[in-house]
Structures are given as C-alpha cells and as structure tokens.
Amino acid sequence: MPESNSSDPNEVARPSSSRRDPDLLRARLADWLPTVLDSPPTINRLEIPSANGMSSETIVLDVEWEGRNHPLVARLAPLTDSDPVFARYDLDRQFRIIGHIADTTDVAVPRLFWSEPDSTPLGAPFFVMARVDGEVPPDVMPYTFGSWVSEATAEQRSRLTETTVETLARIHAAPVPKESLDLPGPGETPLRAHIRRTREFYDWAASGRAGSPLIERGFAWVDEHFPHETDAVLTWGDARIGNVIYRDFTPAAVLDWEMAAYGPRELDVAWLIFLHRFFQDLAELAGMPGLPDFLRRDDVAQIYHRLSGHEPRDLDFYTTYAALIHAVVMYRIQSRAIHFGQASEPEDTDDMIMHRATLEAMMNGTYWQAIR
C-alpha cells in the first residue's frame, strides 16, 4: 500500500496516500451527479488531498451547474483493502446527524448536499457537503509544535477556547436524534453502552494479535471507578479543535461526526481536554514549550459550566476514559502500521500506545497532580 514512510509517529499508518484513481472518480462522479441535479454539471476540479484523515477519505471538488461554481467536499468510506481504522463506516448516519444539528441548533456545520449510501457509483458510500474556508489546527505536526494557534495572542486563544466550549454546549442542547444513534441495550445505561462499544472495538482490533495489558487494565479501572452518570445527550464524539474550521478564532464549521453518540456530556468535555494534553505532552517530550496554558482542564470545565449551566463531574474518570479510548485507537493505528510494514511489532505491545505513560499516570491518580 502506498503509505507515507515518515518516522513522525503522527504519520504512521495514516491513510494519506489514496488508492483511488482521480480520473476514474471524476468519470464516475460525472455519471452520478446528473442523477441528483436538474441541470448538466461540469467538474472543474477534483483533488485527493495528500494528507487525508485517519478514517474516511476526503475528495475536494469544484462543480459547476446552473452557471455557478460550487466548492464541495465529498467524504467517502475507506476501501476495504486499506485495512480501515474502524470496523464499520456509516456515512449516511453522519450525514443525518450533521443535518439534524443544522436543523435544530445554530452550531456551524457545512451545508449538506447529497448522501449516497449505495457503494455502486464510487465504490463506497459517500456524502457531499459545501467546502468551508478557514484554518484548522494541524495534527501533523501537532499545533503545539508551532502553528497559527501557538503564534496567536493569549486573547485570541482565549476566544478560541470560549467559542469552542460554547459550541459543545450548543451541541449538547440539541434534541437527541435517537434514530441515528446507538442506544443502550436492555438494562444498560448510556455510559455502560458506550464502554461496551469501546470494548467491542478493542476486541475487534486485537483479534488475531497480541493484546495490550495496559488497555486491559484500563477497562478494569473503568469498571472499578464507574461514576454516577449525568443525563445523556447527543455527544459529538470526536470533540477536538483539530476537527473544527476556524475563522477569527471562532468555529466556522464543526467536522467529523462518526464518533457521535448518546451519553453524558462529560464524554465530550473530557475528550476536548485530553486531546490537547496528548499533543501538549508530545511537545514537552520533544523539548518544546507547547501551549501549557491552553485548554486547561479547570478552565474548560468552568467555561462549560458558565455557558451550559451544567457543572462537569468526575473529570478524573472521564479524562482517563478518554485516554483509554485513544489508547485503543492508537493500538489499532499501530497495528495497521505493522500490517503495512511501516513499523515492527514491539516486544512490549503497550509500546504501541504513544501516551502509555499518561494513561498509566491517570489510572494511578498522579497525572493531574503533576500538571498542576
């Protein structure tokens, strides 16, 4: 598979080199577009970005119809022979959830055009939405290593924090689209169901492989420290600034809804906090200052409380659970790297988890004390 050979750990197993043929995609889209448009379209541009996402694939389009050019983005499910990060991809579900957010809140999301659940036209299900201009905090290299975020003023980063947390609060205030979410089974609470699905993801990722003792201990820790649940809401799931297009340090579009779920709002609040700490810890390990005063746990919790009226609870539990979820994702990503010859199988499978020290410290109750 033509993947990046970069030694950058953030690049390992990233499906950045597409297997799809742009010319074939253009021809197939030219056949499909007339089925959803009343006037003949012209595809003026079709590009597959060199650095694509970790799961779904992005196609950049400019399509003209009725005398007007439309900047678009198509999100496609990955090809099965690319050994996808997740076991299943429901692009139509994402489309419905984005549409629900657009219809019921003032959260900034891209304008939606079409969803095609049939894999026949392009070889995989896909949906099409408007392209939104703006800036996205980079993952590679992480924004904590030097970026428009780190070069901003403290006041600008404060505005980014405030508007991002406000966006979370607005998402959580939306009506719950239960028909589009995986709901708890009989006798399950929403959080128990969420943990069960995380465990199922790990069991799938570890099938036929040596598992991770650290992840196993993480699931035991979660069971032992299970909190009192707050009310369940629609959660974004992948609530991090790298999934937001910003203009003037304010969200112009919230992206990537494939992890959307039904559960306590602390899932999103903790994910926002933890994912920044993940990148901040990487910067500090590299001997860089990073952004230690940005998206601090207490600041995020206080802002969320002020804007939503809900005081986040049990953040020690939820940030540790966020670190566990991310550990499962990293384990899966590193498994892909080993599968494609980008990395060697380590003697200690816990070394497949870049933030193993963080997860261990969180379970030991020493991580946040050291940060403070």
The residues annotated with a catalytic role in the active site are 238
Cβ 13 vs Cβ 340: under 8 Å: yes
Positive or negative torsion for Cα 61, 62, 63, 69: positive
By the 10 Å C-beta count (0-12 exposed, 13-18 middle, 19+ buried), 305 is classed as: middle
Residue 237: CB partners within 8 Å, gap ≥ 6?
257, 258, 259, 260, 261, 267, 268, 271
* 243-249 long-range contacts, CB within 8 A, separation 24+: 244/136, 244/137, 244/164, 244/167, 245/132, 245/133, 245/134, 245/135, 245/136, 246/134, 246/135, 246/136, 246/137, 246/160, 247/133, 247/134, 247/135, 248/159, 249/152, 249/156, 249/157, 249/159, 249/160, 249/163
Cβ 196 vs Cβ 283: under 8 Å: no
Q: Report d(CA 266, CA 127) in Å as an integer.
A: 29
Q: Report d(CA 330, CA 335) in Å as an integer.
A: 8
Cβ 45 vs Cβ 62: under 8 Å: yes
